[in-house]
Structure 1
Amino acid sequence: MSKSGMGVALVTGASSGIGEATADLLAKAGYRVFGTSRRPASSANERFEMLTLDVTLDASVGALVEKVIQRVGRIDVLVNNAGFGVAPAGAEESSIEQAQAIFDTNFMGMVRMTRAVVPYMRQQGSGRIINIGSVLGFLPMPYMALYSATKHAVAGYSEALDHELRTMGIRVSVVEPAYINTSFDANLIKPDAPLDVYGAIRSGVERRVKEVLTGADGPDVVAKMVTSAAMSRHPKMRYAPGLARRMRFLRRFAPASVLDAGVRKDLRL
């Protein structure tokens, strides 16, 4: 372990929202925390250090991980949080290039970070990898097809990886929140191939999402669950904070027709 006592944690996408809240709480719990962002500003939060990272570039990932290892000698917790979403839109309103871009960040970025960190965790004989998924990783949302697809990929990769690495002292978990009130939703990118046929429904779904976010939990609810997964002696493979827990229960036990009708009613389709 590092001099911090709890070990060293690396949190991607830590400049705001879930990533920042998670880095802050891990630091409060005693970890030496490094947060990352493509353009890290001088953070007012002195509990953790921000470093530059672009998860879409192999060289950037390799250099960042090597820098942390040279500085502190180990990485005990990796939180893969970096990602972005496309504003509610029909699936065909995003070009192939836009689809590739969201997968390159949300999924391949996680894969790059994992591949870079796992060799050091294997050498240590211990480690925790916690991937930030979404309720859309088990309950797809209409007009969020690409984002839902990336989070399904995150969930599948995480579950398979946990089976592979647990005999080496490394555990993998995925945290799958529902609506969380952060700047993430304010910064959704627009579809790059919009079609008039979807205009009205796109606007309606956007309004509904904004309504729900007004009363949604803040990022701390996710940060608490990530910290719990990092520190637990027997971490679970999947975590669903708040509303997501109830949605997972419905996904598992409710008849498909009832759940389908509920989704459409909630989005006013």
Structure 2
Amino acid sequence: MSQNRVVVITGASSGIGEASARLLTQHGFQVFGGVRNPNRVNAIPGVRYGTVDVTDDASVSNFVQWVLSEAGKIDILVNNAGVSLVGPVENTSPSEAHTVFDANVFGPLRMIRAALPSMRAARSGLIINISSVLGFLPAPFMGIYASSKHALEGLSESLDHEIREFNVRVVLVEPTFTNTKLDVNAAQTAAPLGAYAAQAEATIKAVQAQIKTAPSAATVAEKILAAINGPYKMRQPAGGQATLLSRLRRFMPAKAVDSSLRKTFGFGKRAAS
């Protein structure tokens, strides 16, 4: 019964995390939301908030121990917290790349390391990692973000093999661009665009146009609920466009996929220099 199942969601203060917390608590789950500052969230009835910074080992450990002390178990872990970055790969500093990987890859790793022992002991659990279609597709001028999601997908598939015998599984939920603060307010590399300026500006403009008509966070929340309640499947694209992109990547010739992506990202529509 969902009333007895405990869900932990990181990044629960906004976007996909907030929408998921709201939907799951409405369906009877016990929801614990991990946020950086519980005093600044728009509280959702039934959701309990705790402080967690997924880039800090002690913060993650303290948060998970708090949930276990309050609920006695963690049935489902949703690794949602993350950051984005826009800019040419050449212009990206190692420290900027580290910031992205620390949140998007090492953050889930910290949460998994903290929560998995209790799941193994109970011989039951589900880990849902929020990836992206950029976890299996390239994204010009979002190369570091896409790399972090590619890494998360590799980690997730490997982990699933390791923990399956303990009746714990891993799911990848793969949204396309979503109309959330993460996509709308993505950080940009500090270095000037230089030689990449014209094309980068055209690409960013094309992406921003897609975000305006992109699915809401509620679409991803519904996919998370379906992943919990439905039959197991490792990769779960969220929304019609994400599903289409997943199929195109698998079945279309590489050259056709490449051409389609360049059109989507505005290549050939460079601003006048």
Q: TM-score range by the shorter chain?
A: over 0.9
Q: CA deviation at 1:213?
A: 1.0
Residue 207, structure 1, aligned to residue 205, structure 2: yes
Q: CA deviation at 1:94?
A: 1.3
Which TM-score applies when normalising by structure 2?
A: 0.94
Question: Aligned ranges for residues 1-269 of structure 1 at < 5 Å?
Answer: 5-40=3-38, 41-87=40-86, 89-232=87-230, 234-242=231-239, 243-269=241-267
Measured in 1, the distance between the counterparts of 2:203 and 2:10 equals: 29
Measured in 2, the distance between the counterparts of 1:83 and 1:65 equals: 18
**Contact kept in structure 2, 1:65 and 1:117, CA below 8 Å:** yes
Measured in 1, the distance between the counterparts of 2:97 and 2:192 equals: 14
Measured in 1, the distance between the counterparts of 2:76 and 2:156 equals: 15
Measured in 2, the distance between the counterparts of 1:42 and 1:196 equals: 39
Q: CA deviation at 1:92?
A: 1.3
Q: CA deviation at 1:42?
A: 4.1
Which TM-score applies when normalising by structure 1?
A: 0.95
- What code does the residue aligned with 1:93 have? N
Measured in 2, the distance between the counterparts of 1:25 and 1:46 equals: 11
**Contact kept in structure 2, 1:102 and 1:150, CA below 8 Å:** yes
- What code does the residue aligned with 2:235 have? R
- What code does the residue aligned with 2:238 have? P
Q: CA deviation at 1:186?
A: 2.3
Unaligned runs of 5+ in 2: 268-273
Tell me, what secondary structure is at the counterpart of 2:7?
Answer: strand
**Contact kept in structure 2, 1:94 and 1:194, CA below 8 Å:** no
Identical-residue share of aligned pairs (%): 44
Measured in 2, the distance between the counterparts of 1:121 and 1:194 equals: 47
Alignment RMSD (CA, Å)? 1.3
Measured in 2, the distance between the counterparts of 1:105 and 1:112 equals: 10
Once the two structures are superposed, residues 34-80 of structure 1 have per-residue CA deviations (whole angstroms, 9 ceiling, x without a partner) of 11111232423223122111001100000000111111111001000
Measured in 1, the distance between the counterparts of 2:41 and 2:55 equals: 22
Measured in 2, the distance between the counterparts of 1:196 and 1:137 equals: 27
Aligned residues between the structures: 265
